[in-house]
Amino acid sequence: MKKINRRRFIMCGGAALVSSTMPAHAFWPLTGREDEPGGSADITGKIFKGDAPEKPWKWSHEGFLYDKLPKSRVMCGICPHRCVLAPGDRSICRSKVNIDGILYSLTYGNPCSINIDPIEKKPLYHFKPRSRAFSLATTGCNFRCLNCQNWEISQAKPHEVRHYELFPPDVVKKARQAKAISIAYTYSEAVTYFEYMIDIARLAREQGLHNLWISNGYINRKPLLELCKVLDAANVNLKAYSDAISRKLNGGRLEPVLNTFRTLHEKGIHFEMTNLVVPGYVDDPDLVKRMCAWILKDLGPDHPLHFLRFFPKYKLDRLPPTPISTLIRFRKLAMQEGIRYVYTGNIPVYEGNNTYCHNCKKLLIERKGYLVKTYNMTGNQCRFCKTVIPGVWEGEGD
């Protein structure tokens, strides 16, 4: 019998053993969409048949982007799943429903989590260091990550958790009262509450607040382009540079996420990339090399890359935490490949948390956890050699 190593054992299933500017009742039909054969509903689980409420409820809002189909069916156009819902059905992300032939979001104005966070927590290390972000989330996610860190809300339906009533004008008001300079759409998956997010973001932009999108990047180009009009920064999780692993570990395809990075780069949005190093799935140095090669070819060397330590969670609670030595090795490897700013996360005290000038190599920003201890930037330049450091720094865009 052929021997099988630990990674292959896990991958083969062994781990299973061990308001907007639009009218309230208008919809934006899909035109010129980038359809892909087969969709992806078959790899992430099925839609929820007959699971919608009988009528819209207080926090319902018509879908931002969808098609009306024969027999009162609808097709959501926000993410690559493109859920086709018959009347009474609920989407894969649990947030969208078909009621009488109209697509509704049930996560408008009812966040389940609100916090004031240091921006370093997002993680965003090259955008307004030492600032505060008003962070919020609703329930729902269009992925089914086996290692989800926030599964209590990401894998829940809106009515299954306690929530606040906070409509877009109130979010902006609360953010300003908290002296936050940004609003972060985070914790669960903001793609699933796109209608709520885009309305908040538009008002926030009018009030001089920044918009931060913390996401898995599983979104179609058309809504992403609309979001880019009011987006200031993003951290997108490149969960695995492998379509096969992405399907098994996360329940989504790789290429749509790569397209998201390409669009953000094309539009000049500041973004940083995260890779959670899950043992047995994405702790392969060859995978890291291929990922870095793609980043350098399509995006260039200047977008920060964060390798995060995995801790046992959700359906992978029997796996060990990522060895710190693996993160250190991956950071060194990515920098050797040519990415200029590479960080390690979920290790409170380590030089991989710090920012060093890619030219003179001197320490620019020293971090202890989320706390900035040393700051050697002058505007957007290295204090020592005057090299421009990629990012959006203190004083810029204020």
Q: What is the pLDDT of residue 2?
A: 37
pLDDT tens digit sequence for 254-295: 999 999 999 999 999 999 999 999 999 999 999 999 999 999
Q: What is the pLDDT of residue 397?
A: 60
* Domain at 121-353: CATH architecture: Alpha-Beta Barrel (3.20)
DSSP-derived secondary structure for 287-299? HHHHHHHHHHHHT
CATH 3.20.20.70 residue spans of the chain: 121-353
Chain centroid, CA 118 distance in Å: 17
**Position 126 pLDDT exceeds 80:** yes
Q: What is the pLDDT of residue 194?
A: 98
DSSP-derived secondary structure for 297-328? HHT-S-S-EEEEE----GGGTTSPPPPHHHHH
Residue 365 · residue 206 · CB < 8 Å:
no
**Position 19 pLDDT exceeds 80:** no
Q: What is the pLDDT of residue 45?
A: 57
Q: What residues contact 385, with CB distance under 8 A and at least 6 apart?
A: 357, 359, 360, 362
Q: Which residue has the higher pLDDT, 40 or 306?
A: 306
Residue 381 · residue 360 · CB < 8 Å:
no
Please give the Cα distance from 259 to 223 (Å, whole number): 13
**Position 27 pLDDT exceeds 60:** no
The mean pLDDT of the chain is 89
- Encoded amino acid at 68, one letter: K
Q: What is the pLDDT of residue 18?
A: 28
Average pLDDT over residues 77-88: 97
Q: Which residue has the higher pLDDT, 219 or 20?
A: 219
Find the angle CA(283)-CA(288)-CA(292) to the nearest 5 degrees: 160
| E strand residue ranges, the chain | 61-62, 66-68, 74-76, 84-85, 96-99, 102-105, 113-118, 132-137, 182-185, 210-215, 233-237, 270-277, 305-309, 342-345, 355-356, 363-368, 371-375, 377-378, 381-382
Choose among 281, 279, 292: nearest CA to 249: 281
Please give the Cα distance from 159 to 111 (Å, whole number): 11
